Amino acid sequence: MWMGKIGNKSAAFINHKHFHPGNYKNLEKVWLAEEKHKAEIKRLKEMKEKREEEIKISKIKRQLREQEELRKMEMITEEKNKRYAVTSSRLADNDTCGLILPESTDKEGKKKQNSTHKLIIQSQYREDCFKYGHTSVFGSYYDVETKAWGYHCCKVTLKTARCTKPKANADSCQDEPHNKTKESADISTSGSKRPHEDANTNKRFKRHVSGMKDAIDMLKEIEALE
């Protein structure tokens, strides 16, 4: 019996020492370290989740920005196509000299003729305009000896010279009819404007006369009152 009591007393004595793991202070230190470790693990986990969420948000923003840029580019291309589109009716009415049209590789080419031609390049000057009876344009031939440009059909280097071949075609580009049509249009517009201007002047004159009559009546009434 007394041996057990001595053992319990010795164990209790050792537990009170600072170096023993069963000491209350040492147990408290171990508990605090474990709690700190748990809090650190929790913090790292939250930071990882937050980082993953930020990455997802950045990906979504980048996708939305790319979609917006694509939409803007599509709108710009549509506006350009609408601005430079030439319909088949306009091609039928206007002169097609100087237009480079794309070759239709589709089997249903007849159906596409009625649709708009989007890829059309129109130069500032008319092309393939044969003047002075020539069958080729000026600049299609180069004389090495004289170092001058000319016409390939007759080998003439003078631009205003007529073709020396027996077969001579009429000029394909003439500007005189266009000038005549412009002058006739100006005359018609000026003639149509004159009656309208005369009517406006008559209206203004009538208003002026009526205003003068009203003023005279007012003066007469004032004199009668006096």
Judge whether 55 lies within some domain: yes
Judge whether 56 lies within some domain: yes
Judge whether 218 lies within some domain: no
Residue 70 has a pLDDT of 93
Residue 54 has a pLDDT of 94
Judge whether 38 lies within some domain: yes
Residue 131 has a pLDDT of 78
Residue 150 has a pLDDT of 87
Judge whether 77 lies within some domain: yes
pLDDT tens string 37-96? 999 999 999 999 999 999 999 999 999 999 999 999 999 998 888 887 766 555 544 544
Residue 57 has a pLDDT of 93
* Cα atoms in the 13 Å half-sphere on the side-chain side of 32: 6
How far are the Cα atoms of 80, 159, 169, 185 from residue 155, in angstroms, in the given order?
43, 11, 16, 42
Judge whether 200 lies within some domain: no
Judge whether 41 lies within some domain: yes
Quote the number of domains for the chain: 1
Residue 221 has a pLDDT of 74
Q: What is the domain range of residue 28?
A: 21-81
- pTM of the predicted model as reported, rounded to 2 decimal places: 0.27
Which stretches in the chain have pLDDT values below 50? 1-7, 92-93, 95-99, 168-182, 185, 187-188, 190-193
Residue 143 has a pLDDT of 85
How far are the Cα atoms of 2, 39, 49, 150 from residue 42, in angstroms, in the given order?
52, 5, 11, 89
